[in-house]
Structure 1
């Protein structure tokens, strides 16, 4: 779907009886343009019948953090301990939220469960997510807490030099809150969880929803350790090599040892593991298949968000019933799209743009 179609779809989900003129007014376009988009959505099978009855899609639920990302980028090499000329930008971020936006932009029906404050950043995040096509009805908006912020500074090579996060509000995404959304969670095609959640929330989700494919983002070495007691509930795990070593207690000297590392996770109950190897690509493993896929060369603009786009690509492939290798190649191309824009989420993220990267990489 196009970005405008995603915006219209998000508004229709909020109000299925909304008039076309009201849609036009909200989007700042003509009524005839809205009618054209509605016709396209109908032809694609997204809208069925009068009253904008939406087709019942297989949907993913993402549970995790939503931040306002504040990004500092030096104009030249970073001088530590000094003031650096450069640029500062703000955009909605957070591991869970980033995965959800990428997944929605790829065309999958996506619902986000997170917590934001009733402040300027929180409202900006809600509105941005809705425009991207994310269903935000299950997100908490709190009067007595501030929306998370994530401050990062890049180095001269556009890689992250340092970051500070303020994510205290995510503790409010409690077990009781998650229990109140049980009916919606039980109907999900898959549930994506990021390890920023509290230990109690992770324990509840990984102990009570193992019958639904659970995709887990480890986030960092420190946060990955919270997952160790629940590895047998995880369908798809996406760590980098350091995080995998932290969880397993193994140290990998060379890539020939990756199959053994992956098998350790399988023995703990993880069905699929995708080991991020940075510039060397991705090693994926499931019980009957293992492979190392080289990275696609890319002129990196911003390293933030590539891993989130990768996991979204995996989830999108799973919803489409693609084989694991095809999903992995698609996810790697989605990461390339993410790396190619200064924003945390590339506004051009779509299934079309990802397939274009795949096609160009084969030339």
Structure 2
């Protein structure tokens, strides 16, 4: 974090903190802190005493919201046989998880998705709203079933296989998005996952480009990532795993150097920034200004479900708060590490002070 962001971080935790306290925490003279605060006030980032920060940026999250059903094996999984497991059911879906994570991190997040007119849909909306997410823009479709994602985890919490029933998202149309456009365009940024149909993806990329709205995309899977258009102008950030990056770049990734080549190819298609997550090998990031590789933060693994969504959420939290792509990725790694310590797909541990503290620990 630069000095301005460090000051904002401490003020966010304690709006009544004194300049003397800030100078001790950040390692600056009191006069230097006063100058920084004066500049932040001129920028509109601080509004008087107590230090009142500007309203957090709003973001619309478009894509999946479903029930996550997890079966964790008590022992080594045996194929073609009955396995003793512990079952858990939580709210999931990439866009939904993202909205909840961003809300928990202090942003005004709205969810735009569709659910069935059923028990699962009602439960998802109730739980998501209780986490501070605006669900007023969700479509409830009477003749459809709410999406489900079922996964089998081994005794170490690593995924063995997953099954997704996401047919409901094929019911979303460009006309439905057009009806909501006045709401979408009022946001500071848009997040989209590739659960929605291809024509809707094309529509959002073009409209966000035309309206100059930052658009962040998570393809969800390699298969769904194939719905992305060849030209990606208008995409501010692509969040990819290794398989998705290989598919979009048309090249195998076996090393950090391969990541660099793949990221350059993908950026050559028009995307401004690219992040490639590499599991236990960390992340690779690339933008017009910077690129590099970061190892993961060490942590105890309970359940890896939702770790990728947590990384993406915290990385974009960083970008929306003025962090460099490097700094954003460090926040993402912190969010991922906190999430895999729990069985929650959207961890209650995700708070600004928690992820910043973890970044400082590993810096």
Q: TM-score, normalised to structure 1's length?
A: 0.82
Q: What is the DSSP-based 3-state SS (H/G/I as helix, E as strand, rest coil) of the residue aligned with 2:122?
A: helix
Contact 1:206–1:230, Cα closer than 8 Å, also in 2: no
Q: Distance in 2 between matches of 1:124 and 1:88?
A: 18
> Unmatched 5+ residue regions in structure 2?
1-48
Q: How does 1:159-198 map to 2 (within 5 A)?
A: 159-198=158-197
User: Does residue 320 of structure 2 align to residue 319 of structure 1?
Assistant: yes
Describe how 1:1-363 pairs up with structure 2 within 5 A.
57-210=56-209, 211-362=212-363
Using the TM superposition, name which of 326-335 and 258-267 deviates more.
258-267
CA distance in 1, matches of 2:117, 2:218: 27
Match of 2:32 in 1: none
- CA distance in structure 1 between the aligned counterparts of 2:57 and 2:337, rounded to whole angstroms: 26
Distance 2:346 2:352 in 1: 14
> Are 2:249 and 2:263, in contact at CA under 8 Å, matched by a contact in 1?
no
How far residue 188 of structure 1 moved from its aligned partner, in angstroms, is 1.4
User: How far off is 1:117 after superposition?
Assistant: 1.4
CA contact (8 A) 1:305 1:338 kept: yes
Cα deviation code 1:182-233 (max 9, x no counterpart) = 1111121111110111112111111221121110001111111111424223
Closer/same/farther in 2, CA of residues 43 and 179 from structure 1, 3 Å limit: farther
Using the TM superposition, give the Cα deviation of residue 299 of structure 1 relative to its aligned residue in structure 2, in angstroms: 1.1
Counterpart for residue 5 of structure 2 = none
2: CA distance, partners of 1:230 / 1:189: 23
- Superposed CA RMSD: 1.8
In 2 relative to 1, CA 253–88 (structure 1 residues): closer, same or farther, beyond 3 Å? Answer: closer
Using a 3 Å threshold, how does the CA distance of structure 1 residues 253 and 148 change in structure 2: closer, same or farther?
closer
For residue 76 of structure 1, report the CA deviation from its aligned partner. Answer: 1.4
Distance 1:296 1:330 in 2: 10
1:294 CA displacement: 1.0
Q: Could you list the runs of 5+ residues in structure 1 that have no partner in the other structure?
A: 1-41, 47-54
Between the aligned partners of 2:348 and 2:253, the Cα distance in structure 1 is 37
TM-score if structure 2 supplies the norm length? 0.82
1:93-139 CA-to-partner distances (Å, cap 9, x unmatched) read 01111111111111111011000112111111111111111011111
| Cα distance in 2, alignment partners of residues 287 and 347 from structure 1 | 34
- SS of 1:231's partner is coil
Distance in 1 (CA, whole Å) between partners of 2:352 and 2:278 is 24
1:19-44 superposed Cα distances (whole Å, 9 cap, x missing partner): xxxxxxxxxxxxxxxxxxxxxxx978
Question: How many positions carry a matched residue from both structures?
Answer: 313
8 Å CA contact retained: 1:203, 1:230: no
